[in-house]
Structure 1
Amino acid sequence: MLKQHLIAFVFVSCMPFLQTTYSLSLSGKLSNGVLLSNDASGKYAVIIDAGSTGSRLHVLHFDRNLDLVQIGQDFEFFKAIKPGLSSYADGPEAAAQSLKPLLEKAEAIVPKEFRANTPVKVGATAGLRLLKGDSSEKILQAVRDLLKNESSLKYKAEWVTILEGSQEAAYIWAAINYLLGTAGKKYSETVGTIDLGGGSVQMTYAVSKEVALKASKLSKKETYIQEKNLLGSTYHLYAYSYLNYGLLAARAEILKVSRNSSHPCILYGYHGYYTYGDVAYRASAFPTGPNMKKCRAFVLKALKINAPCKHKKCTFNGVWNGGGGDGQKNLYVASFFYDRASQVGVIKTNVPSATARPLHFLSAAKRACRTKYKDIKSVFPNINESDRPFTCLDLVYEYSLLVNGFGLNPFKKITLVKKIKYKDSLLETAWPLGSAIDAVSSQN
C-alpha cells in the first residue's frame, strides 16, 4: 500500500514538469535560448542592416499566407553588434568576419530544413557609401565571399549591396502597407509614404499602370518608377530620394543661403556653429531674433522651389512629382517628421502613430521662433540639447517641405508614424521588414 502511494506521489509531483514539456512541444522548440515556432510551413528571411554605427540582424518567419509568425515572444529575432562595416575601411576581410556572429545566430534560428531556401540579404546604408576609393566595394565583396563560402543560407551576389535611397524608400512603403493590411490590395487602396531621414527625404506611392507607362525618366537608364511584386500583386511605385534634403543635411543647405554672419532661422541669443559632413557652418541669430518671413524665404531658396521643371509637374529642385493619384491619397509620414512632432506637442509623445495636418507644424514653428534660446528647454523639454538652437529652422523646414515641396494642402490630414499595431504587437516601420517581404513575395 505504501509503495502504491509513493508511486502516485511521484507521478503527481512530476505533473508540472510534464505539462511544461508538453506545452513547449506544442508551441515550439528551444534553440540557443530562443523559443522557435513549431510551424513547419512558410518561409524565413534573414536581413542584415549594415548601418554606419553598427550591424543589425533581423530574422523573420512567415507562414504560407505570408503572415508573420512569432519567433519566441516577438515577430522578429533582432540582434545588434558594433562597430559598423565602415569602421573596417582598411580591412575588408575583418569587416566581413564581424558579421559572422550574426550569421551564426541566424542559422541557429532558421531550422536546418529551411536554410537552403532562406534568403540572406545585406543592405548597407550611409556609412559605407561615404568611404573613399574602392573601400566600400572591397568590403561588400568580402561579405559576398563570406556568405558564399561559409553560410548555409540562400545567397545571391546582388543581395549584398549599398541601398540606393529609392530602394530604401520602396522597402519602407512595403513595410507600412504590409503592417496596415493594404499590401496585396488594389494600388488605390494603398498608402503613400514620406520618410525624412538625416541626409535625405524620400517619397513613395503607387501609381496606375497607365501613369507608369507614360512616366518621366531620370535618364536613359534610370526611371522614377519601380515595379514591385508584393503578396501576389504587382505595383508600380513612384519612389524618389532627395539627397541633401534630409533634416540634418537641409540645415546646412539653409544656413549656406545666408551670406551674413546672422541668420533669420536661428533662435534669439544663440551664437555658434552647426557641423555637417565635416564642414562647420556659422549659426548666429539676428540681433532681434528669428524672422519667420525671411526664414521661410531662405528655406524655399534652399529647396530650389523655382528650379526649371522639364516635366508636367515637379515637386522641388526640378524633380517630377510622380503624377499624383489615389496611391498618394493617404500619406504616412515618418522619421524626423514624427520625432519633431512628438517633441513639440503636435502629437502626444510615445504614441505609435497619430494624425496631424501640415498647418500644425507651422503653428509649432511660430511658437518656437518667438522663443529665446535660453527658454527653449522649458518650452520644449523633449528636444535634444544639440537640436535646440535649430528648433525654429527645423519646423519651418518641415512645414515648407510638406506644403511647398511636396505640394500638400496645409489642411490635409496626414498620419505621423513610428510603429504600427500588428496583431497584438507594435512593429517599427523600418526598411528591413519591407526587404524581407519583398524577398519572400518574390519566392512565391
Structure 2
Amino acid sequence: MLKQHLIAFVFVSCMPFLQTTYSLSLSGKLSNGVLLSNDASGKYAVIIDAGSTGSRVHVLHFDRNLDLVQIGQDFEFFKAIKPGLSSYADGPEAAAQSLKPLLEKAEAIVPKEFRANTPVKVGATAGLRLLKGDSSEKILQAVRDLLKNESSLKYKAEWVTILEGSQEAAYIWAAINYLLGTAGKKYSETVGTIDLGGGSVQMTYAVSKEVALKASKLSKKETYIQEKNLLGSTYHLYAYSYLNYGLLAARAEILKVSRNSSHPCILYGYHGYYTYGDVAYRASAFPTGPNMKKCRAFVLKALKINAPCKHKKCTFNGVWNGGGGDGQKNLYVASFFYDRASQVGVIKTNVPSATARPLHFLSAAKCACRTKYKDIKSVFPNINESDRPFTCLDLVYEYSLLVNGFGLNPFKKITLVKKIKYKDSLLETAWPLGSAIDAVSSQN
C-alpha cells in the first residue's frame, strides 16, 4: 500500500542532487515613475492582497484576447505598504484609510475611460481571520465604504472579503494554468497544483463533468467541487484547503504527538521551544539524535492517515481525494515545497522552476536528520536560522505529505515552481493574478 510506502537507500549523500533548470532575467523596471500602458484597449483589474504583515496592490492589463499587456516595462504594477489591516483591530476606519495610497496609485495607472469598468477586489488572508469578535467584519465594511464612496473603480460588496482557503487555491490554479498557456484548453490538458503555506496546504485540480456530478460533499450546503469559468472554458475544480497542515502549523501538530520531553524529529544537540499561535511547544532532541522511523510515525499520526474515510478514497484526515484523473497527472508544487527544496539542494537556488521527485525530499531528510544542530548551518547554509532546528522535521513532513497524504508515487515527476516564464518575463504564481483573470473572464 502506498500509504505505508517506505524507501530504503543504501547510500544517501548530503551533496546537492540538482535538477535541470532554466534561468531568465526579469524585464526592466518602470523608469521615472511613468506608468503608462503600451496599449489603451482591453481590460484592467485591480487586486489588493491584504496580508497579515502588509497590503499589496496589483494592477494588471489584459488585451481583448485576455493576454497580459505591459504596464510600462512590466506585466504588472505592484506596490506594497505596511502594516497590514489586522494591525488596526480597534480602528476600522484607519484600516480602510491605510489602503488609500494603494488605491490612488492604481487609479492613476488605469486610464480614466476604463475605471468605471475596472473591477477592484480586496482579498484578506490569515491576519484578519485571527482577530477577535467582529473586528474583522468592521474592517471589511470600512474598506467597502471606502471603495464605494471614494473610488472611481467598479466595486461590489462581495469583492471585499476574507479569502477562504479553497478560493485562494482556485486562484493559484488559475494563475499557473494561465501562465503555462493551458487555461482555456480541455481539463485533461491543465495541471494540478499543491500549495504549501504556513497555516494550510491546498490541492487543486480539474476533474471531468462526470466526476463533478458524482462528487462527494463536505456537507448539505458545501461541496468539494467549484465551477470556474476561465478564458471561455468551464472547469470543475476540486479545491480543498487543509487547515493546520501548512508547514508552520504542522510543526506544532507533530511536536504535540510526543508525550515526552524529547522528540525524534529534532536535530541532535538542540533543546528549545517552537512557538505557533501564541503557544510554545517543547522541541528537544533525543539524547541520540533524530530517529527517522519514529519521526515518520509521528508525522503520519499528525496527518491522521488512518482516520475513517466515508468516501471512495481519501487523502488524509478523512478528506475526499477528488477522484483523481488527468487533471492531476502533471503537478506544480509551490511555496514551502519550493523553498525547502531550493535551500537543501534538491533544486538550484533562485531558479523560477525545476522538476524533482518526492523521493528527493526523503533523501534530503535522511541527510538532515543525521546532521547535528551545530553543523546544520555549514551543511545547509541557505536555511534561515529560526528554521534550522526543524530541518529534519520539515523534510520528513514534506515527503510524507506528498506520498502518504496526497498519495503520490515517490518516483513521480513534479514541478517545483515560484515563477513562470511569460513572454520575456517571469511572473510569480500568486493568487492575485488568478483573481484578476477570474474577474476579467467573468466580464468577457
Taking structure 2 as the reference length, what is the TM-score of the superposition? 0.93
CA RMSD, 1 decimal = 15.4
Contact (CA 8 Å) 2:21, 2:355: kept in 1 or not?
no
Tell me the distance in 1 between the aligned counterparts of 2:303 and 2:12: 74
Contact (CA 8 Å) 1:28, 1:37: kept in 2 or not?
no
The residue number in structure 2 matching 1:193 is 193
Contact (CA 8 Å) 1:26, 1:38: kept in 2 or not?
no
Contact (CA 8 Å) 2:19, 2:354: kept in 1 or not?
no
Instruction: Name the CA shift for 1:6/1:110 in 2 (closer, same or farther; >3 Å).
Output: farther
Higher mean Cα deviation, 19-28 or 297-306?
A: 19-28
Instruction: Describe the SS at the equivalent of 2:13.
Output: helix
Tell me the distance in 1 between the aligned counterparts of 2:17 and 2:52: 47
Tell me the distance in 2 between the aligned counterparts of 1:416 and 1:360: 12
The residue number in structure 2 matching 1:398 is 398
**Which has the bigger relative contact order, CA under 8 A and spacing at least 6?**
2
Q: CA deviation at 1:22?
A: 37
Higher mean Cα deviation, 9-18 or 322-331?
A: 9-18
Contact (CA 8 Å) 2:47, 2:436: kept in 1 or not?
yes
Provide Cα deviations, 1:186-238, integer angstroms capped at 9, x if missing partner.
00000000000000000000000000000000001110000000000000000
Give 5+ residue unaligned stretches, structure 2.
Answer: none
Instruction: Name the CA shift for 1:5/1:149 in 2 (closer, same or farther; >3 Å).
Output: same
Instruction: Describe the SS at the equivalent of 1:13.
Output: coil
Contact (CA 8 Å) 2:18, 2:345: kept in 1 or not?
no
Q: CA deviation at 1:35?
A: 3.5
Q: CA deviation at 1:34?
A: 2.1
Instruction: Describe the SS at the equivalent of 2:18.
Output: helix
Instruction: Name the CA shift for 1:32/1:120 in 2 (closer, same or farther; >3 Å).
Output: farther
Instruction: Name the CA shift for 1:2/1:414 in 2 (closer, same or farther; >3 Å).
Output: closer
Instruction: Name the CA shift for 1:6/1:322 in 2 (closer, same or farther; >3 Å).
Output: closer
Instruction: Name the CA shift for 1:108/1:2 in 2 (closer, same or farther; >3 Å).
Output: farther
The residue number in structure 1 matching 2:93 is 93
Instruction: Name the CA shift for 1:4/1:233 in 2 (closer, same or farther; >3 Å).
Output: closer
Higher mean Cα deviation, 55-64 or 21-30?
A: 21-30
Instruction: Name the CA shift for 1:341/1:29 in 2 (closer, same or farther; >3 Å).
Output: closer
Provide Cα deviations, 1:257-278, integer angstroms capped at 9, x if missing partner.
0000000000000000000000
> Greater share of helix residues, 1 or 2?
1
The residue number in structure 1 matching 2:16 is 16
Tell me the distance in 2 between the aligned counterparts of 1:97 and 1:366: 50
Instruction: Name the CA shift for 1:7/1:148 in 2 (closer, same or farther; >3 Å).
Output: same
Instruction: Name the CA shift for 1:12/1:37 in 2 (closer, same or farther; >3 Å).
Output: farther
Q: CA deviation at 1:40?
A: 2.5
The residue number in structure 2 matching 1:430 is 430
Tell me the distance in 2 between the aligned counterparts of 1:50 and 1:270: 36
Tell me the distance in 2 between the aligned counterparts of 1:320 and 1:217: 9
Tell me the distance in 2 between the aligned counterparts of 1:5 and 1:405: 11
Tell me the distance in 2 between the aligned counterparts of 1:297 and 1:334: 25
Instruction: Name the CA shift for 1:363/1:116 in 2 (closer, same or farther; >3 Å).
Output: same
Contact (CA 8 Å) 1:292, 1:366: kept in 2 or not?
yes
Tell me the distance in 2 between the aligned counterparts of 1:277 and 1:254: 15
Instruction: Name the CA shift for 1:254/1:113 in 2 (closer, same or farther; >3 Å).
Output: same
Instruction: Name the CA shift for 1:320/1:27 in 2 (closer, same or farther; >3 Å).
Output: closer
Instruction: Describe the SS at the equivalent of 2:195.
Output: strand
Contact (CA 8 Å) 2:69, 2:75: kept in 1 or not?
yes
Q: CA deviation at 1:27?
A: 16
Instruction: Name the CA shift for 1:152/1:10 in 2 (closer, same or farther; >3 Å).
Output: farther
Give 5+ residue unaligned stretches, structure 1.
Answer: none
Instruction: Name the CA shift for 1:24/1:224 in 2 (closer, same or farther; >3 Å).
Output: closer
Instruction: Name the CA shift for 1:16/1:8 in 2 (closer, same or farther; >3 Å).
Output: farther
Instruction: Describe the SS at the equivalent of 2:48.
Output: strand
Contact (CA 8 Å) 1:36, 1:109: kept in 2 or not?
yes
Contact (CA 8 Å) 1:30, 1:36: kept in 2 or not?
no
Tell me the distance in 2 between the aligned counterparts of 1:213 and 1:439: 25
Q: CA deviation at 1:6?
A: 86
The residue number in structure 1 matching 2:181 is 181
Contact (CA 8 Å) 1:316, 1:405: kept in 2 or not?
yes
Provide Cα deviations, 1:244-263, integer angstroms capped at 9, x if missing partner.
00000000000000000000
Q: CA deviation at 1:428?
A: 0.3
Provide Cα deviations, 1:363-395, integer angstroms capped at 9, x if missing partner.
000000000000000000000000000000000
Q: CA deviation at 1:9?
A: 79
Contact (CA 8 Å) 2:353, 2:417: kept in 1 or not?
yes
Tell me the distance in 1 between the aligned counterparts of 2:105 and 2:146: 15
Instruction: Describe the SS at the equivalent of 1:16.
Output: coil
Instruction: Name the CA shift for 1:156/1:11 in 2 (closer, same or farther; >3 Å).
Output: farther
Instruction: Name the CA shift for 1:432/1:318 in 2 (closer, same or farther; >3 Å).
Output: same
Tell me the distance in 1 between the aligned counterparts of 2:43 and 2:76: 13
Tell me the distance in 2 between the aligned counterparts of 1:223 and 1:427: 31
Contact (CA 8 Å) 1:47, 1:58: kept in 2 or not?
yes
Instruction: Name the CA shift for 1:418/1:25 in 2 (closer, same or farther; >3 Å).
Output: closer
Instruction: Name the CA shift for 1:6/1:121 in 2 (closer, same or farther; >3 Å).
Output: closer
Instruction: Describe the SS at the equivalent of 1:378.
Output: helix
Contact (CA 8 Å) 1:331, 1:415: kept in 2 or not?
yes
Tell me the distance in 1 between the aligned counterparts of 2:30 and 2:174: 31
The residue number in structure 2 matching 1:63 is 63
Instruction: Name the CA shift for 1:264/1:152 in 2 (closer, same or farther; >3 Å).
Output: same
Tell me the distance in 2 between the aligned counterparts of 1:23 and 1:294: 39
Provide Cα deviations, 1:395-440, integer angstroms capped at 9, x if missing partner.
0000000000000000000000000000000000000000000000
Q: CA deviation at 1:38?
A: 4.1
Q: CA deviation at 1:37?
A: 1.8
Tell me the distance in 1 between the aligned counterparts of 2:372 and 2:18: 67
Contact (CA 8 Å) 1:49, 1:55: kept in 2 or not?
yes
Tell me the distance in 2 between the aligned counterparts of 1:3 and 1:289: 26
Instruction: Describe the SS at the equivalent of 2:155.
Output: coil
Identity %: 100
